[in-house]
Structure 1
Amino acid sequence: MNIKPRYMALLLALAVLLGAGGSYIGIEYFANATGNSNTDQLATANPDGENFGSLTEEEQKQFIQDMTGDADLKKVEQAYSLIKDNYVQKVEKNQLVEGAIQGMLDTLEDPYSVYMDKETMKQFNQTIESSFQGIGAEVSMVNDKVTIVAPIKGSPAEEAGLKPNDQILKVDGDSVEGLDLYEAVLKIRGEKGTEVTLQVSRPGVSEPLSIDIVRDDIPLETVYTDTKEVNGKTAGVIEITSFSEKTADEFKEALSKLENDGMDGLIIDVRGNPGGLFTDVQEILKEFIPDDKPIVQVEDRNGEKSRYFSSIKEKKDYPITVLMDEGSASASEILAATMNEAGGYDLVGTKSFGKGTVQQAMPMGDGSTIKLTLYKWLTPDGNWIHEKGIEPTVEVKQPEYFYTNPVDIEESLQFNDNGDKVKNVQKMLDGLGYDPGRTDGFYSEETVSAVEAFQKEAGLDVTGEVDEKTGGKLEELIIEEVRSEENDKQMEKAVEVLFQ
């Protein structure tokens, strides 16, 4: 698989991926207590691999000592003894301990602070050791819902067209309500060639969508290069799909080649990029941001801030713009915010996801791990974008048909029908050049005529109704339109802004 347009995530199709700052179902970057990182195809930690501000071994020991020495924990011990010795049914000690840890984390109401017990970590490590297979998604818990952040480029998730902020309701017919993030992830991940069916709730769509996904190998390449020729000028394009251990090196190599080839300006595309390692985004930013402003700031619980700088003295001698969207999260947001605030470069696209916290994974000594939020990251100007996102300086949305949904046909759609499914079909018809007369969800006579015209040209039975075959053909042609670079209005605008 090598599906070029990463923004396919904003369409429809047949695969899956999961969310921001939470867990990958396909691949993920997980930082341990010493700041090292592993690559996981499953999805169960934090996409930032936050390895700055890591606790040393001595600091961890002191942390645990301080915690266990707290007099208030006697109350916890008392509750433990009461339940263990007196509850009407026998309770396993481990069950109480695990429940107490999970309960403490639950009180934080922080979707990024999570506990992985020994068994979960065992499965996590098994996934790391196996080949990279899955659905290729990254997820997080948002308001107690397993929520999609952005699909990985070239993954089944991207092909399926799962979108940022989609909420997973069921996996193979089983509800995920009440499960923690990692329990849900374990249900979704799987081996190449196996199929999983997700029921998804999508903002703006009244009925849940059912999406079948065939798991596959997940692509590891994170940097793609292209050029755009406009009025005699060459725009170099570097797309970053995530920030992994080799991303900075790959980016520098791509940048050097574009510069040597004589590009006149640069576009950095982080649309649909769910984040990754802080070290790599930092190294990339050091190529562009002079040392008079910080690349990023990190704030601890006491309000004390650490600032990170580059060592260069001057900006590049060519213009730069950054492309972003609602699937740009975490490390992608660091890049976008810094390029704008410290570099003065334009941000083109739509508002980003909004994750501004930093987690550290801390092993508990028995095979289990707590991933705890320890810091906030702030923009060069000291802004915290958490749950707010970053606004583009030049807002541009893709054409309406980019945001259409899979055509889920149980009964054929026909004249006088009304609802979201009809509205979705009308937007598809309009995007393909068949005027449905309206796009408000009412199946009018004009919509019947548009469907008939479409069916005739597509070699289908001309009925004026949208059955499974007609819906499938609409999806197929819409996917082709989305994949076509000439329809990428955000990229078109980015080039225009670059050379204005």
Structure 2
Amino acid sequence: MQRSRFLLFVILAVMATGVFLILDGCSGKEQQGTGTASTFPVIDEALNVIKERGVYPVEQEKLIEGALRGMADTIGDPYSTYFSKEEAAASKESLAGERIGIGAEVTRSNGKFIIVAPVKGSPSEKAGLQPYDEIVRIDGETLDGDSLQDVVQRIRGKQGTAVTMTIYRPELNKHIEVSVMREAMSVKTVAAEVIEVRGNKIGYITLTKFAEDSAKEWEKATNRLIKEGAQALIIDLRGNPGGYLHTVGDIAGSLLPEDTVFAFMQNQQGALTPLVIEKSKDLSYDKKLKSMPVALLQDKGSASASEVLSGALKDLKRGYIMGTTSFGKGTVQDFTELSNGGEMKLSTHKWLTPKEQWIHGKGVKADLEVEQNALFVELTRLVTGVYEEGAYHEDVAYGQKLLEGLGYSVGRTDGYFDESTTLAVQAFRADAKVKADEKMDRIFYTALKEKVEAYRKDHKNDDQLQMAIGYMHHQLNEK
């Protein structure tokens, strides 16, 4: 059975893909005599040589999957990939409205698997997991040879079942056994608030991805903003990698008149199919959305479905685009289920803006270019190393950049721990009221991360958002 679904989503890690028509019958079952995997003799010849003469035994299923992945390398398209059964399930889950798990972010640092932070109200928080907890064993088994993806998959499981983890807690210098119940947790992609500026009320709405339930979240959020008196709307798509095509169509439909062409699909032969705004049977948007002033914030992390929306608003002069040029992904992927339980994700169409522009590799240019505060560009992360004067490491450079962004005098940001860095570390630790020391250690990095996150939450420090607020205030006062 085959099923297709369109997806616009940027995947920066390049994976391989397979073509189902070339390798059929991929059940992994051998026929009598030699294994037959396809109607192409050369493939069967290679399969049988490996199986019959290879010194390293390999299951036929893995050979088939390897062939599927290898075909994608020839395509040369980073968005066309082959997903195994497990990878396909994870891909679907990433855009689902809820996720089964324990609600904790896990990272890999210096070969260790570390809890970054438990989600508030999640099973992991209730079980007492804390930032910097190192996962040593899962269900009694060590993590030797596991990748980060392997560890995440082992933690996840069926709803209502428990996972037992042995964790090492640095501040206690001891191992602790923790049992966490897996639960279904809703995944929110929309956040909204009203920002009041000198008598004007501006709706500010952020969208992290165009997931399965994002349009419903958008409906609820925008209706609330209007009830609270919002006179204009700022849409924040910074860092939004994309998502489902039908979702971006629904959201665009809240802002544009019915029967408006918001994009075009172009097939392999070059034929164009218009994507038209249609009245939704399931969604009820406030009519004021279609007439209120709109500004859209984007950056180089805004891709695919995000660019469909920004391209439409720009071409149709429905919104003012601010920030920086977007990522530049102008293809659409189709998912097809394969007989082995995996999926083949293939770029099957280009998408074009209402003015029939293909933005692939170029991105959507902002109407007003606004560079962001440097402290918003640097990603915060967990660091487990300890560094002092004379050290040279990328973790030191990370700390130097954040200190500089917070206003501390750091002579360099290249990762060399010099005297000026020592003085900056001492000053920061004093201001943060943590243990006095000259080192960059776990206490220092934790306090630094918290300080930066608090800084970012204050809208006054967001240069791009402040420019959008100023623009909207000007627009409202001109009415």
- Scaled by the length of structure 2, what TM-score is found? 0.67
Match of 2:250 among 267, 283, 293: 283
Match of 2:3 among 15, 33, 38: 33
Partner of 2:313: 339
Partner of 1:166: none
Match of 1:450 among 408, 424, 435: 424
Instruction: Give SS of 2:193's match.
Output: strand
- Alpha-carbon shift at residue 359 of structure 1 (Å): 1.6
Partner of 2:369: 395
- Alpha-carbon shift at residue 456 of structure 1 (Å): 2.9
Match of 2:456 among 482, 486, 497: 482
Partners of 1:195 and 1:359 in 2: CA distance: 38
Cα pair 1:294 1:380 within 8 Å, conserved: yes
Instruction: Give SS of 1:474's match.
Output: helix
Partners of 2:93 and 2:202 in 1: CA distance: 43
Q: How many residues align?
A: 394
Cα pair 1:288 1:343 within 8 Å, conserved: no
**1:122 to 1:87, Cα distance in 2 relative to 1, 3 A:** farther
Partners of 1:293 and 1:487 in 2: CA distance: 37
Match of 1:355 among 329, 341, 347: 329
The 5-angstrom pairing of residues 16-27 of structure 1 reads none
- Alpha-carbon shift at residue 115 of structure 1 (Å): 2.4
Partner of 2:155: 191
Partners of 1:85 and 1:422 in 2: CA distance: 50
Match of 2:234 among 263, 267, 281: 267
The one-letter code of the counterpart of 2:388 is L
Partners of 2:234 and 2:98 in 1: CA distance: 36
Partners of 1:471 and 1:327 in 2: CA distance: 26
**1:119 to 1:356, Cα distance in 2 relative to 1, 3 A:** same
- Alpha-carbon shift at residue 243 of structure 1 (Å): 1.9
**1:413 to 1:393, Cα distance in 2 relative to 1, 3 A:** farther
- Scaled by the length of structure 1, what TM-score is found? 0.64
C-alpha distance after superposition, 1:171-228 (max 9, x if no partner): x67586xxxxxxx74554343678899xxxxxxxxxxxxxxxx999754222222111
Instruction: Give SS of 2:77's match.
Output: coil
Partner of 2:203: 236
Partners of 2:293 and 2:426 in 1: CA distance: 48
Instruction: Give SS of 1:105's match.
Output: helix
- Alpha-carbon shift at residue 321 of structure 1 (Å): 0.3
The one of the two structures with greater contact order (alpha-carbon pairs below 8 A, sep at least 6) is 1
The one-letter code of the counterpart of 1:469 is I
Partners of 2:211 and 2:93 in 1: CA distance: 20
Larger radius of gyration: 2
The one-letter code of the counterpart of 2:440 is V
Cα pair 2:8 2:304 within 8 Å, conserved: no
**1:438 to 1:325, Cα distance in 2 relative to 1, 3 A:** same
Cα pair 1:354 1:386 within 8 Å, conserved: yes
Cα pair 2:81 2:345 within 8 Å, conserved: yes
- Alpha-carbon shift at residue 276 of structure 1 (Å): 1.9
Partner of 1:223: 190
- Alpha-carbon shift at residue 308 of structure 1 (Å): 1.1
The one-letter code of the counterpart of 1:340 is K
**1:102 to 1:229, Cα distance in 2 relative to 1, 3 A:** same
Aligned Cα RMSD in Å? 4.5
Match of 1:323 among 281, 291, 297: 297
The one-letter code of the counterpart of 2:358 is W
Q: Which runs of 5+ in 2 are unaligned?
A: 12-19, 26-37, 106-118, 125-129, 132-142, 157-162, 168-179, 280-286, 475-479
Instruction: Give SS of 1:284's match.
Output: helix
Partners of 2:166 and 2:324 in 1: CA distance: 31
Instruction: Give SS of 1:353's match.
Output: coil
Partners of 1:452 and 1:123 in 2: CA distance: 44
Partner of 1:412: 387
Cα pair 1:412 1:468 within 8 Å, conserved: no
Partners of 1:194 and 1:361 in 2: CA distance: 35
**1:292 to 1:432, Cα distance in 2 relative to 1, 3 A:** same
Partner of 2:136: none
Partners of 1:344 and 1:317 in 2: CA distance: 9
Partners of 2:424 and 2:387 in 1: CA distance: 15
The one-letter code of the counterpart of 2:153 is R
**1:194 to 1:360, Cα distance in 2 relative to 1, 3 A:** farther
Partner of 1:132: 100
Partner of 1:79: 45
C-alpha distance after superposition, 1:128-149 (max 9, x if no partner): 8995227789xxxxxxxxxxxx
Partners of 1:332 and 1:126 in 2: CA distance: 20
Partners of 1:247 and 1:122 in 2: CA distance: 19
**1:463 to 1:376, Cα distance in 2 relative to 1, 3 A:** same
Cα pair 1:134 1:190 within 8 Å, conserved: no
The one-letter code of the counterpart of 2:45 is A
**1:99 to 1:347, Cα distance in 2 relative to 1, 3 A:** same
**1:401 to 1:95, Cα distance in 2 relative to 1, 3 A:** closer
Cα pair 1:360 1:372 within 8 Å, conserved: yes
Partners of 2:152 and 2:467 in 1: CA distance: 37
Partners of 1:255 and 1:349 in 2: CA distance: 22
Partners of 1:222 and 1:292 in 2: CA distance: 27
- Alpha-carbon shift at residue 295 of structure 1 (Å): 0.5
Partner of 2:76: 109
- Alpha-carbon shift at residue 493 of structure 1 (Å): 1.4
Corresponding position: 1:310 with 2:274: no
Partners of 1:91 and 1:430 in 2: CA distance: 53
Q: Which runs of 5+ in 1 are unaligned?
A: 1-31, 38-44, 50-62, 138-152, 161-171, 177-183, 198-213
Q: Equivalent pairs: percent with the same residue?
A: 31
Partners of 1:91 and 1:457 in 2: CA distance: 59
Cα pair 1:404 1:428 within 8 Å, conserved: no
